[in-house]
């Protein structure tokens, strides 16, 4: 499409108006007395044509003057035709292959539009130039490295396909930076990014010239951003979150299926830029696979919006198995907040061990799934997983040095263990100053240091809360039971794997089956079967590229059973 570098110069085209008026104005004649008008009849015929506002006659001079004006205006406007021109040196092309590139707001899809743009760049690649083609998916890959062979570039581009998960832009930028460095100088390098946006903040700077080519026209989208099923007092409870990313209020029909049987369908109204919650209670307390689907309320067979992948979500519910949790506290009277929250968690059998009169801690000989240490640690740590609250300085897991009171600004990390945890109004008077160990992920932090972190070390899972609960109002907040439910589920998962509701496509899953299991067979939503023989470290399954429900089948010499987990596209 032709554009103008100086579009304001086109206003000079208005000069055509006075030129036309000059040819439409009435001629001024001088009156002369003659003896007879007989000889002037031919001249009198032109008097009507010379009257103002009459239709113009064909006039070669007028045409030439207007033509000259058009040429002058166009030259002043500086018309330009954009063409896909790249640098003459090294070209690094990053092709966004995230799930949102499946959107159909441009025909036939955003990814195909990006492929077409990439083909144009390849065709216009200068002789002697080299191109590196990177596909930015969950695991970015180099499709072609530093080649000027257009046939190779065309072939690998034709084989590229969008994924159904998020793109790891940190890794993609790292690959691009390495590709530029491998070519030598950065002066003649160009990095071209074909994407529909949504790049995260804090990406490392890229060397050379960086060009961003936007793909896509519309951001309007309705999405299922959460689907979770948790045990409740009357069975199970389902929670669904529908978000409207558009600028107009929308309606959609939400249909819920239990083992592919329709159990509920209702019309949902979602305000522009807002979201709506749907809660369904009194669901059966047994293993059930759920599916939620958004439908066009006007025409069921027509797509709801230009992006269909986030219109469906899945959840697998397993009744909670009984897990033994032992609470050890430094107070003879115990900690009523911890005792109450542990007793309220489904599938948890809480126990407590109080110090004796001399302050000694006794641990029963019976094994427990999780040990909760509230301000104390035994002389000999038991075998199991730990939750440390207000950890003492002399602990073997991480360093504790002093305290801090800079807790006004509390930040919650974007982490599955911190999902639905709102700490914005929580007040913490004082916390222990802990240097975050390399094996841990910080879940909640303040200016002075971490407040909650968790991770794996020495073959066990460990979580820590670096402050005394009695020196905060956290036990009085809604975040308290949610945080502890997440931590206990992480430390003692009810299943052989830890698969949160928001498992994204491409994320690996670690499975620790029972020692008696001889074989594990995973079945994808498409029906593909992958078999494993479990080892001491369990199984690392990476084939989670499809959206839907996965079956994990365990086989022993005497029996077999199955567990399920879901892969969803939440917040693409």
Q: At 555, which CATH number?
A: 2.60.40
DSSP string for residues in 490-519: HHS-SSSB---TTPPTT--EEE---TT--E
Is residue 503 in a domain? no
Distance CA 399, CA 377 (A): 14
Splitting the chain (572 residues) into consecutive groups of 10 residues, what average pLDDT does each group show? Answer: 72 83 66 67 55 65 86 80 57 94 91 93 88 93 92 95 92 91 73 91 87 86 92 86 92 95 95 94 92 92 89 91 86 83 87 73 84 89 91 89 89 89 91 92 93 89 94 92 92 78 83 87 94 86 93 90 92 64
User: Could you say which of 295, 317, 339 is where a domain stops?
Assistant: 317
- Pairing label, strands 189-195, 209-214: parallel
Q: Are 355 and 361 in contact (CB under 8 A)?
A: yes
On whether both 19 and 156 belong to a single domain, the answer is no
In a shared domain, residues 233 and 130: no
Cα–Cα distance measured from residue 552 to residue 12, given in angstroms and rounded to the nearest whole number:
73
Q: What is the 3-state secondary structure (H, E, C) of 114-149?
A: HHHHHHHHHHCCCCCCEEEEEEECCCCEEEEEEECC
What count of Cα atoms within 13 Å lies in the side-chain half-sphere of residue 534? 24
Instruction: Give a yes or no: residue 504 inside a domain.
Output: no
169 touches 138 (CB < 8 A): no
Q: Cα(241)–Cα(501) distance, rounded to whole angstroms?
A: 12
Asked whether residue 496 is assigned to any structural domain, the reply reads: no
Q: 155, 119 in Cβ contact below 8 A? A: no
Contacts (Cβ under 8 Å, ≥6 apart) of 71: none
pLDDT at 260: 92
Q: Are 49 and 102 part of one and the same domain?
A: no
The pLDDT value recorded for residue 500 is 60
Instruction: Enter the tokens of residue 174.
Output: 């790292």
Ramachandran angles phi, psi of 225, nearest 5°: -95, -10
Report if residue 57 sits inside a domain. yes
Note the pLDDT of residue 437. Answer: 92
Within this chain, do residues 331 and 407 fall inside the same structural domain, yes or no?
yes
Name beta bridge partners: 530: 522
Q: Cα–Cα–Cα angle for 230, 233, 239, nearest 5°?
A: 30
Maximum CA extent, the chain: 145
pLDDT at 431: 94
Residues 313 and 332 in one domain: no
Measured in degrees and rounded to the nearest 5, phi and psi for residue 302 equal: -95, 145
3-state helix/strand/coil string of 443-492: EEEECCEEEEEEEEECCEEEEEECCCHHHECHHHCCHHHHHHHHHHHHHC
Domain identity same for 420 and 348: yes
Buried b (16+ CB within 10 A) or exposed e, 195-212: bbeeeeeeeeebbbbeee
295 and 383 share one domain: no
Give the separation between CA 470 and CA 451, rounded to whole angstroms. Answer: 14
pLDDT of residue 87: 47
Q: Dihedral, CA atoms, 543, 545, 549, 553, nearest 10 degrees?
A: -10
| Structural tokens at position 21 | 């008026």
Of the candidates 463, 470, 429, which has an alpha carbon nearest to the alpha carbon of residue 444?
463
Residue 219 C-alpha from the chain's centroid: 14
Helix axes 479-491, 336-344, angle to 10 degrees: 70
Judge whether 330 lies within some domain: yes
Within a domain: residue 115? yes
**Last residue of one domain, picked from the residues 36, 60, 80:** 80
Rounded-to-integer distance, Cα 241 and Cα 398, Å: 38
CB 79 within 8 A of CB 179: no
Task: Kindly report the CATH number assigned to the domain that includes residue 243.
Answer: 2.60.40.10
Question: Do 306 and 355 fall within a single domain?
Answer: no
Could you say which of 62, 80, 98 is where a domain stops? Answer: 80
List the beta bridge partners of residue 446: 449
d(CA 55, CA 52): 9
Structure tokens at 175: 């690959």
Neighbours of 271 (CB within 10 A): 11
| 502 located within any domain | no
Distance CA 105, CA 546 (A): 23
Which domain, by its residues, includes 76? 3-80
Cα 82 from Cα 361, distance rounded (Å): 76
CATH number at 184 reads: 3.40.50.410
The answer to whether residues 67 and 118 belong to one domain is: no
8 Å CB contact between 506 and 163: yes
Instruction: CATH number of the domain at 394, please.
Output: 3.40.50.880
3-class DSSP state of 51: coil
Q: Are residues 106 and 11 in the same domain?
A: no
Q: How far apart are CA 354 and CA 365, in angstroms?
A: 15
Give the β-pairing of 141-147 and 130-136. antiparallel
User: Is 498 within a domain?
Assistant: no
Do 487 and 550 belong together in one domain?
no
Write out the DSSP string of 204-242: PPPSSEEEEEE--S----EEEEEEEEEEETTEEEEEEEE
What local confidence, expressed as pLDDT, does residue 90 receive?
85
Other Cβ atoms closer than 10 A to 110: 26
Same domain assignment for residues 237 and 262: yes
The count of structural domains within the chain is 5
């Amino acid at each position: 499409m032709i554009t103008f570098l100086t579009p304001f110069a086109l206003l000079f085209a208005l000069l055509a108006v006075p030129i036309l008026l000059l040819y439409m104005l009435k001629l001024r004649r001088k009156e002369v007395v003659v003896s007879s008008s007989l000889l002037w009849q031919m001249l009198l015929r032109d008097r009507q044509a010379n009257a103002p506002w009459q239709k113009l006659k064909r006039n070669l001079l007028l045409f030439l003057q207007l033509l000259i004006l058009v040429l002058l205006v166009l030259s002043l406007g500086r018309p330009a035709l954009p063409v896909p021109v790249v640098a003459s040196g090294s070209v690094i092309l990053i092709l966004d292959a995230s799930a949102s590139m499946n959107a159909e707001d441009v025909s036939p899809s955003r990814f195909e539009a990006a492929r077409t743009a990439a083909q144009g760049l390849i065709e216009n690649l200068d002789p002697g130039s080299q191109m590196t083609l990177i596909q930015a998916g969950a695991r970015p890959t180099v499709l072609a490295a530093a080649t000027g062979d257009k046939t190779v570039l065309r072939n690998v581009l034709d084989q590229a396909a969008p994924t159904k998960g998020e793109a790891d832009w940190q890794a993609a930028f790292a690959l691009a930076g390495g590709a530029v460095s491998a070519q030598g100088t950065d002066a003649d390098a160009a990095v071209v990014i074909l994407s529909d946006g949504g790049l995260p903040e804090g990406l490392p700077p890229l060397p050379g010239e960086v060009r961003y080519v936007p793909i896509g026209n519309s951001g309007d989208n309705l999405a299922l951003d959460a689907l979770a099923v948790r045990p409740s007092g009357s069975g199970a409870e389902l929670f669904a979150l529908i978000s409207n990313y558009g600028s107009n209020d929308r309606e959609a029909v939400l249909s819920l299926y239990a083992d592919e049987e329709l159990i509920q369908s209702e019309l949902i109204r979602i305000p522009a830029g807002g979201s709506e919650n749907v809660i369904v209670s009194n669901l059966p307390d047994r293993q059930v696979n759920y599916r939620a689907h958004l439908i066009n309320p006007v025409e069921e067979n027509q797509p709801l919006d230009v992006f269909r992948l986030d219109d469906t979500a899945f959840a697998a519910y397993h009744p909670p198995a009984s897990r033994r949790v032992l609470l050890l506290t430094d107070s003879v009277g115990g900690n009523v907040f911890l005792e109450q929250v542990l007793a309220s968690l489904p599938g948890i059998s809480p126990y407590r061990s109080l110090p004796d009169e001399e302050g000694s801690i006794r641990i029963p000989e019976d094994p427990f799934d999780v040990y909760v240490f509230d301000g104390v640690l035994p002389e000999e740590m038991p075998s199991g997983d730990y939750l440390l609250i207000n950890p003492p300085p002399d602990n073997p897991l991480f360093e504790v040095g002093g305290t801090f009171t800079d807790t006004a600004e509390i930040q919650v990390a974007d982490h599955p263990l911190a999902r639905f945890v709102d700490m914005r109004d929580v007040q913490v008077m004082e916390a222990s100053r802990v240097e975050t160990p390399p094996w841990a992920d910080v879940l909640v932090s303040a200016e002075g240091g971490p407040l909650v972190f968790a991770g794996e070390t020495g073959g066990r899972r460990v979580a820590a809360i670096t402050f005394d609960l009695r020196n905060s109002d956290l036990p009085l907040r809604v975040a308290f039971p949610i945080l502890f439910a997440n931590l206990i589920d992480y430390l003692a998962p009810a299943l052989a794997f830890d698969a949160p509701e928001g498992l994204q496509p491409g994320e690996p899953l670690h499975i620790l089956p029972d020692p008696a299991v001889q074989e594990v067979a995973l079945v994808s939503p498409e029906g593909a079967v992958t078999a494993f023989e479990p080892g001491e470290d369990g199984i690392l399954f990476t084939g989670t590229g499809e959206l839907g429900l996965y079956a994990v089948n365990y086989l022993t010499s005497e029996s077999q059973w199955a567990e399920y987990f879901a892969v969803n596209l939440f917040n693409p």
